[in-house]
């Protein structure tokens, strides 16, 4: 299967008059057609920045890609002109955002907002009537009765609005769908429905998906492979089995799994990971997780860890990589 997305050593900063935020610090991963990859991490890890980077939607005034390439279908997104990007967005790469309550324009009908995606990328030169038909089909696909086409967003609940957002994202059959925490703002029961729907649609159309989330449960349900992000870096990367099973993990990953309360064991206290993510304007020398790491060694505080790899399972940690192999 062909590779549709390849990110090589990507670094992104936000630079304002006051400070520089090192949001993404040298990440690399790739995605094949039809694959689903989970991008997991706490708030502020750089997941949304990466997603916006893929779409070329980073704020022009403050964001800067300082290194690396984002190759989509062989072309570097970072070097594309705005007009080319506009053709790609919505048609080849789509994005679903986190908050369905604010993602839709309140003064336009949901039908027109879905239809707009078709109208903007009308290569097949569909007539207005055909566009309307496609809109209705897509609505039915996401489980909304087509009679509600001319209603306004405020007339829909959160879950329904998210379905509309998904309809907009999928109506042009994109090759890649980026879902940025699509269910975080929804009830657990609705969450299940939405996730199932995304998976079904993905299987039906062979869309590749990047599922951004902080919820390991969501990852387990939907993803083929996983990247764990911390402070702008991918600290562990591998297949679902690599991350969820086995005994070799990045200490952060272990902390994440360890902090999930168990339904079976009895425990008196939760086990959070001590400390907070480092200030992205003042990142520490050496390993960025070192201040919070239970297995921190002397070398961790001064030297960046290199990447250890075995059968596609990558871990960025001094515990595994030979100090002699450290790149930076």
**Which stretches of the chain bind another protein, using CB under 8 A?**
16, 55, 57, 61-62, 82-83, 86-91, 94-95, 97, 99, 102-109, 116-117, 120-121, 151-152, 154-157, 165, 168
Q: How far is the CB of 176 from another protein (least distance, A)?
A: 12
Q: How far is the CB of 242 from another protein (least distance, A)?
A: 31
DSSP code, position 264 = S
- In this complex, which beta carbon is closest to another protein, that of residue 49 or of residue 321? 49
Q: How far is the CB of 39 from another protein (least distance, A)?
A: 17
Report strand pairing: 208-213 vs 36-40.
Answer: parallel
- In this complex, which beta carbon is closest to another protein, that of residue 15 or of residue 292? 15
Q: How far is the CB of 87 from another protein (least distance, A)?
A: 7
Which residues have CB under 8 Å from 81's CB, separation 6+? none
- In this complex, which beta carbon is closest to another protein, that of residue 111 or of residue 251? 111
Axis crossing angle, helix 128-141 with helix 158-170, rounded to the nearest 10: 130
Structure tokens at 18: 């006051």
Reported for 184-189, long-range contacts at CB under 8 A and 24+ positions apart, including other chains, are: 184/98, 184/213, 184/214, 184/215, 185/98, 185/99, 185/100, 185/101, 185/158, 186/100, 186/158, 186/159, 186/162, 187/158, 187/159
Give the closest residue to 65 by CA, choosing from 108, 135, 14.
14
- In this complex, which beta carbon is closest to another protein, that of residue 94 or of residue 207? 94
- In this complex, which beta carbon is closest to another protein, that of residue 124 or of residue 270? 124
DSSP code, position 285 = S
- In this complex, which beta carbon is closest to another protein, that of residue 2 or of residue 82? 82
Q: How far is the CB of 86 from another protein (least distance, A)?
A: 5
Are residues 8 and 244 in contact, defined by beta-carbon separation less than 8 angstroms?
Answer: no
Are residues 106 and 100 in contact, defined by beta-carbon separation less than 8 angstroms?
Answer: no
Structure tokens at 126: 């569909």
Three-state DSSP string of 126-165: CCHHHHHHHHHHHHHHCCCCHHHHHCCHHHCCHHHHHHHH
**Farthest CA pair distance, the chain:** 68
- In this complex, which beta carbon is closest to another protein, that of residue 62 or of residue 173? 62
Q: How far is the CB of 97 from another protein (least distance, A)?
A: 6
Integer Cα distance of 157 and 100 in angstroms? 9
Which residues have CB under 8 Å from 125's CB, separation 6+? none
Q: How far is the CB of 50 from another protein (least distance, A)?
A: 15
Q: How far is the CB of 161 from another protein (least distance, A)?
A: 10
- In this complex, which beta carbon is closest to another protein, that of residue 89 or of residue 318? 89
- In this complex, which beta carbon is closest to another protein, that of residue 13 or of residue 307? 13
Which residues have CB under 8 Å from 101's CB, separation 6+? 158, 161, 185
Q: How far is the CB of 142 from another protein (least distance, A)?
A: 15
């Amino acid at each position: 299967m062909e590779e549709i997305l390849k990110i090589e050593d990507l670094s992104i900063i936000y630079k304002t008059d006051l400070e520089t935020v090192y949001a993404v610090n040298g990440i690399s991963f790739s995605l094949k057609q039809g694959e689903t990859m989970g991008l997991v991490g706490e708030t502020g890890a750089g997941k949304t920045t990466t997603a916006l980077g893929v779409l070329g939607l980073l704020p022009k005034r403050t964001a800067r890609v300082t290194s690396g390439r984002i190759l989509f279908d062989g072309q570097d997104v970072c070097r594309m002109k705005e007009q080319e990007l506009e053709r790609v967005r919505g048609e080849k790469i789509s994005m679903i955002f986190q908050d369905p309550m604010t993602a839709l324009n309140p003064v336009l009908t949901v039908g027109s907002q879905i239809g707009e995606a078709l109208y903007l990328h009308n290569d097949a030169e569909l007539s207005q009537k055909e566009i309307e038909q496609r809109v209705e089909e897509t609505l039915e696909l996401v489980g909304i009765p087509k009679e509600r086409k001319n209603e306004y967003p405020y007339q829909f609940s959160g879950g329904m609005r998210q379905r509309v957002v998904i309809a907009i994202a999928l109506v042009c059959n994109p090759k890649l769908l980026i879902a940025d925490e699509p269910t975080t703002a929804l009830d657990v029961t609705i969450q299940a429905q939405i996730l199932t729907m995304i998976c079904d649609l993905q299987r039906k159309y062979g869309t590749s998906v990047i599922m951004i989330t902080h919820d390991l449960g969501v990852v387990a349900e939907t993803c083929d492979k996983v990247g764990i992000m911390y402070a702008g870096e991918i600290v562990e990367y591998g297949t679902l089995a690599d991350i969820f099973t086995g005994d070799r993990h990045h200490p952060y990953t272990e902390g994440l799994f360890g902090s999930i309360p168990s339904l079976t064991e009895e425990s008196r206290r939760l086990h959070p990971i001590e400390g907070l993510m480092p200030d992205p304007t003042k990142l520490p020398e050496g390993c960025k997780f070192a201040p919070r790491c239970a297995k921190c060694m002397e070398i961790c505080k001064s030297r960046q860890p290199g990447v250890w790899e075995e059968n596609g399972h990558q871990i960025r940690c001094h515990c595994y990589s030979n100090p002699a192999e450290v790149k930076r």
